[in-house]
A and B are shown apart, each in its own frame.
Chain A
Amino acid sequence: MPIIINGHDVAAPADPRVSLLDLLRERLDLTGTKKGCNQGACGACTVLIDGQRKLSCLSLAVQCDGHDITTIEAISEVDSLHPLQAAFIETDGFQCGYCTPGQIMSGIALRGEMQRGAPSHVTPRLEDVPEASNEEIRERMSGNICRCGANNGIIEAISSYVRGTL
């Protein structure tokens, strides 16, 4: 079975040591996904695997065989923006931009998690449908670090995207 990356079949590498992140960046020239810490601490390498946000740096590419990968390159058509990308521009949700692809992939998955009612650490009651408060968004985005400190814009962009008030 191939790995399906942005809708295209890709053969898994023969060397099982290759991470999904290195496969994307070094072999497929999909350099939108960034390598930050390469140890699961920063979230810059976040991609969607079967629709769930995961860390490509800690995923072995061979493990992705038969699975569906979506990277930042495939969230919108050429010359158009995904609504969350537009929101980041609107809110100044970045400075250097290095963490941005990971933030956006994470934010896209976050909306799906909230829409299906998944609780977070700060959700007051486990049985409640979580509200898209800034506190909720901050907690749910804690796996994506922004060293520039653009967090207020990031949270604002994702909040408006989740609330559908763009």
Chain B
Amino acid sequence: MELFTYERAHNPEAAVIAGAPSRAKFLGGGTNLVDLMREGIERPSALVDVTGLSQTIVETAEGGLLIGAAASNAAVAEHRLVRNRYPALSRAILAGASAQIRNMATVGGNILQRTRCRYFYDVNGARCNKRDPGQGCDAIGGFNRYHAVLGTSSHCIATHPSDMCIPLVAFDAIVHLAANGGSRSIKLAELHRDPGDTPQIETALDPGELITAIELPPLALARRSAYRKVRDRASYAFALISVAAALHVDDNRVTDVRLALGGVAHKPWRALIAERALVGQPATYDTFLAAARAELRAAQTQRDNAFKPELAARTIAAVLRTLAEEQA
């Protein structure tokens, strides 16, 4: 690991000043960044520890929730208001990583964690456009069971590995950002990007910009929400595909629905095509499956992940059926 300076930030203003140099990085729980530094993939010259910034989870005036970026994943999953009002968020966090890692990992760090693509990690043995732009992508044509099928490019087929972000994009979460020049807020759905021909650029953040909080808008629908994760072993594994869903059914028709997918794209994938296809339709399994398949129609599969579109479609339909039955 290369030498770096370490500094603890005591407020967001000090953090963004300390984090302004181009090779500075903000440090949360370290569960991803410290590992990447050990692998020689991340080489920051300075670490600005932001775990002492806001960890609070409070109700907003509008009836939503404001979650400090330094809150641990475990604290969010366990919080009474999250469990009651946004159960899919609790479920998604609990489906990810291990108890130890959930205790360490922060909300901000979870959002900004990097792909677990094996070729991205293989510094000496594989080409990766994300790690070394222009080098090529050995995941394409390689072992790509875990790779993306939506929004991919010929430069990168890596996935974003977060579970937590999937319900967050489904629920229209807002990300609060601070920078040396001031603060702003953007939708989480607009923070991560498709790889295009610049897969090394993963977010819409400006250099030195810090996530200070996420805000969940009030969403009555989210009280009936679910998260289902399909993976190769029952615990402590990344998703092959995952689904966050919330559904409201009235008189056997879908009146409102939120859907997002994990494990299928370079970003948390909001399934807007399926959502639009469902509103006003009969709340039946066949309708759910047809809408889900419409979402996956644009999928481009690789050698080892041709199963993903149909698995994702069926999982969406199964989750929606369960949510509909609970309202019958």
Establish whether residues A119 and B38, one from each chain, have CB atoms under 8 Å apart when the complex forms: no
> CB-CB < 8 A to A143: which residues of B?
97-101, 236
B101 near A59: Cβ-Cβ < 8 Å: no
Considering only CB atoms, which chain A residue lies closest to B51 in the complex? A63
Measured between beta carbons, the chain B residues less than 8 angstroms from A123 are 94
List B1-44 residues whose CB lies under 8 Å from chain A: 1, 3-6, 8, 27, 29-31, 34-35, 38
Chain A residues within 8 Å of B97, by CB? 143
Q: Is the CB of A121 within 8 A of B30?
A: no
Asked whether B322 is an interface residue with its Cβ less than 8 Å from the other chain, the reply is no
Q: Which of B5, B30, B100 contacts A63 (CB 8 A)?
A: B30
Is there an interface contact between B91 and A142, defined as CB atoms closer than 8 Å?
no
Contacts of A43 in B (CB 8 A): 98, 100
B100 touches A126 (CB 8 A): no
User: In the bound complex, do residue A119 and residue B30 qualify as a contact, i.e. CB atoms below 8 Å apart?
Assistant: no
Interface footprint category on B? 35 or more
A38 to B98, CA, bound (A): 15
Other-chain contact of A119, B8, B83, B101, B104 (Cβ < 8 Å): B83
- The reply to whether A118 and B74 form a contact with Cβ atoms under 8 Å apart is yes
A140 CA to B101 CA in the complex, in Å? 12
Q: Is A10 an interface residue (CB 8 A)?
A: no
Scan residues 62-85 of chain A and give those whose CB is less than 8 A from a CB of chain B: 62-63, 65
CB distance from B117 to the nearest CB of A (A): 16
Q: A43-B100, A118-B78, A126-B83 are in contact. Are A58 and B35 (CB under 8 A)?
A: yes
A133 on the B face (CB < 8 A): no
Q: Please determine whether A46 and B34 come into contact, CB atoms closer than 8 angstroms.
A: no
B46's nearest neighbour on chain A, judged by CB, is A16
In angstroms, Cα B87 to Cα A109, docked, is 24
Contact between B49 and A63, CB atoms less than 8 A apart: yes
A126-B90 contact in complex given A53-B103, A121-B95, A143-B236, C-beta closer than 8 Å? yes
Q: Mark B81-108, 1 if CB is under 8 A from A, else 0.
A: 0011001001100110111110110000
Shortest beta-carbon distance from B83 to chain A in Å: 4
**Chain B window 44-64, contacts with chain A (Cβ cutoff 8 Å), 1 for yes, 0 for no:** 000101010000000000000
A151 contacts the other chain (CB 8 A): no
A-facing residues in B193-229 (Cβ within 8 Å): none
Q: Is B77 an interface residue (CB 8 A)?
A: yes
- List residues of chain A with CB within 8 A of the CB of B30: 58-60, 63
The answer, yes or no, to whether B135 is at the interface (CB within 8 Å) is: no
Residues in chain A near residue B87, CB distance under 8 A:
126
CB closest residue in chain A, given B47: A16
| A52 with B103: CB separation less than 8 A | yes
Cβ-neighbour of A126 out of B35, B49, B91, B104 (below 8 A): B91
CA distance A126 to B94 in the complex (A): 11
Q: Is A17 an interface position by the 8 A CB rule?
A: yes
CA gap between A144 and B83 in the complex, in Å: 26
**Shortest Cβ gap from B28 to chain A (Å):** 10
Q: Does B185 contact A (CB under 8 A)?
A: no
Q: Which residue of B lies closest to A142 (CB)?
A: B235
Q: Nearest residue in B to A47 (C-beta to C-beta)?
A: B100
Complex-state Cα separation, A62 to B4, whole angstroms? 12
Whole-angstrom distance from the CB of B158 to the nearest CB of chain A? 19
Among A63, A127, A139, A144, residue most surrounded by chain B Cβ atoms (within 10 Å): A63
In the complex formed, the residue of B with least CB distance to A120 is B94
Cβ of A55 and Cβ of B94 under 8 Å apart? no
Closest to A62 in B: B6
Q: Is the CB of B101 within 8 A of A55?
A: yes
A93-115 CB mask vs B (1 if < 8 Å, else 0) is: 00000000000001001100100
- Among A17, A19, A139, the residue within 8 A (CB) of B3 is A17
State the B residues within 8 Å of A (CB). Answer: 1, 3-6, 8, 27, 29-31, 34-35, 38, 47, 49, 51, 74, 77-78, 83-84, 87, 90-91, 94-95, 97-101, 103-104, 234-236
Interface residues of A (CB under 8 A from B): 15-17, 19, 38-40, 43, 46, 52-55, 58-60, 62-63, 65, 106, 109-110, 113, 118-121, 123, 126-127, 138-140, 142-144
A–B Cβ pairs within 8 angstroms, 8 of them:
A59-B30, A59-B34, A60-B34, A63-B49, A119-B77, A127-B84, A139-B234, A143-B99
Apart from A58-B34, A63-B49: 12 A-B pairs, beta carbons within 8 A: A16-B5, A53-B100, A60-B34, A63-B30, A106-B99, A106-B100, A113-B99, A119-B77, A121-B91, A121-B235, A126-B83, A143-B236
Closest 7 CB pairs of A and B: A143-B98, A142-B235, A16-B6, A142-B236, A126-B83, A121-B94, A52-B103
